[in-house]
Amino acid sequence: MTSLQDTAAPPVGTSRTDPSLRPARRRSLRYLVLYLLALGFVSPLVYMLATSFKTRTEAASTVPSWIPDPFTTQAYQYLFSAPDTPVLTWFANSMLAATATAALVVATASLAAYPLARMEFRGKRVVFALVIAMLMVPGVILVIPNYLIVSELGWLNTLTAIIVPSAASAFGVFFMRQFFMNLPVELEEAALLDGANRFQVFVQVVVPLARPAMATLALLAFLTNWNDFLWPVYVLFSPETRTLPAGLATLQGANQVRYDVLMAGAVIASVPVMLLFSFLQRFIIEGVSRSGLKG
């Protein structure tokens, strides 16, 4: 009777709970809530996948169906064949941009984080303070000036505009610095005493130890870039330069009523990240939980 109250706060001043028969009932209630919640997370995604294999009429029917009848790949065929929706090109653009950004972020952030973690030099505090300050500043103030900078560089409507500006990752530097600070310093000192220079130490001693952290950072940078929405919508304006999220937006503008096509587009945009996620979810989730920095 009172077990439902466990999740809510009992009124202040209640005495201690009766220990008998509590744990078992509480545990089953917990499972029930958690698995029902999980159903609420999975079913919309399942419905998206199902709808992408429906006919146009079935997708627009007022009676929802979970199993396409007839099963058809019409929506996908439409997407692949229509001239104004080059989905495969969008897919390739997204892949290329996200991969290149991830590589740039990992390379530049790891290199920059190393001296911030391990060397004493003039100006170190200034650099680090700037990185932290920019971690706090909302990105919205950068959008307008960056549009002008990118236009000045002649990058408007090119993938370069999607890759290079987003590779300046203050978070990446912060993240890698935390990792380097927690590495035992003895190995590096031994290598230095053996006459290696700092770059050799970094490449031969530090990078092999930092692989898990670098992989996590690469994943987070890939996902962030893959899902970026506002910037690509405004910086890319021809069908063949768009990334998937920007493409989905134009698809929706053009196909208000063709939900089968929209769902097919959404599925295509989901498959790569879902595959990455299912294989590497532990890395991704650990990376995110570590971003809730300790203190």
Partner 1 sequence: MSEAVTHRPDAPARAGASGPPAGSRRRRSPIAPAPATPWLFLAPFLVLFGTFVLLPAGFGVWISLHDWDYTFPTHPFVGLSNYQALFDPSSTAGGPFWESMRATGIFTVLSVPLLLVVPLGVALMMNARFPGRNFLRAVYFAPYVLGVAVISVLWRYLLDTNIGLVNHYLGVLGLPDSTAWLTSQPAAWASLVGVTVWWTLGFNAVIYLAALQDISAELYEAAKMDGAGAWQRFRHVTLPGLRPVLMFVTVNTIIMSANMFGQSYLMTDGGPGRSTRTAIMRIAETGLSSFQMGSAAAMSYLLTVVLMALSALVFWLFRDRDAVRPRKKVRS
Interface of this chain with partner 1, residues 101 to 140, rule: CB under 8 A? 104, 107-109, 111-112, 114-116, 118-121, 124, 127, 130-131, 134, 136-140
Q: How far is CA 83 from CA 62, 136, 239, 251, 263, in A?
A: 30, 43, 9, 12, 18
User: Residue 223 and residue 228: Cα distance in Å, rounded?
Assistant: 8
**Contact flag: residue 88 with partner 1 (CB under 8 A):** no
Which residue has 């030099």 as its token pair? Answer: 121
Token digits of residue 126: 């200034």
**Contact flag: residue 68 with partner 1 (CB under 8 A):** no
User: Residue 69 and residue 78: Cα distance in Å, rounded?
Assistant: 18
Instruction: Kindly state the smallest distance separating residue 55's Cβ from partner 1, in Å.
Output: 14
Restricted to residues 202-241, the positions that interact with partner 1 (CB under 8 A) are 202, 223, 226-227, 229-230, 233-234
Number of residues binding to partner 1, judged by CB under 8 A = 120
**Contact flag: residue 193 with partner 1 (CB under 8 A):** yes
**Contact flag: residue 45 with partner 1 (CB under 8 A):** yes
**Contact flag: residue 281 with partner 1 (CB under 8 A):** yes
**Contact flag: residue 56 with partner 1 (CB under 8 A):** no
Instruction: Give the one residue of 87, 106, 173, 206 binding partner 1; rule: CB under 8 A.
Output: 173
Instruction: Kindly state the smallest distance separating residue 83's Cβ from partner 1, in Å.
Output: 21
Please report how the helices 124-136 and 87-118 are oriented relative to each other, as an axis angle in degrees rounded to 10.
Answer: 140
Instruction: Give the one residue of 132, 185, 203, 254 binding partner 1; rule: CB under 8 A.
Output: 185
Instruction: Kindly state the smallest distance separating residue 77's Cβ from partner 1, in Å.
Output: 19
**Contact flag: residue 261 with partner 1 (CB under 8 A):** no
**Contact flag: residue 36 with partner 1 (CB under 8 A):** no
Which residue has 């993240």 as its token pair? Answer: 175
Instruction: Kindly state the smallest distance separating residue 229's Cβ from partner 1, in Å.
Output: 5
Alpha helical stretches, state H, the chain: 22-51, 56-59, 74-81, 87-118, 124-136, 140-152, 160-163, 170-181, 186-193, 198-201, 207-227, 230-235, 244-254, 259-291
Instruction: Give the one residue of 2, 25, 33, 212 binding partner 1; rule: CB under 8 A.
Output: 33
**Contact flag: residue 244 with partner 1 (CB under 8 A):** yes
Stretch touching partner 1 by CB under 8 A, among 40-48, 72-80, 82-90, 206-214:
40-48
**Contact flag: residue 291 with partner 1 (CB under 8 A):** yes
Instruction: Give the one residue of 145, 208, 211, 238 binding partner 1; rule: CB under 8 A.
Output: 145
| Burial profile 87-121: b = 16 or more Cβ within 10 angstroms, e = fewer | beebbebbeebbbbbbebbbebbbebbbbbbbeee
Stretch touching partner 1 by CB under 8 A, among 68-76, 84-92, 194-202, 209-217:
194-202
Half-sphere exposure of 263 (CA within 13 A, CB side): 24
Q: How far is CA 69 from CA 17, 59, 61, 80, 202, in A?
A: 54, 10, 12, 22, 59
For partner 1, the closer CB: 71 or 234: 234
Query: CA angle 7-13-19, nearest 5°?
Result: 55
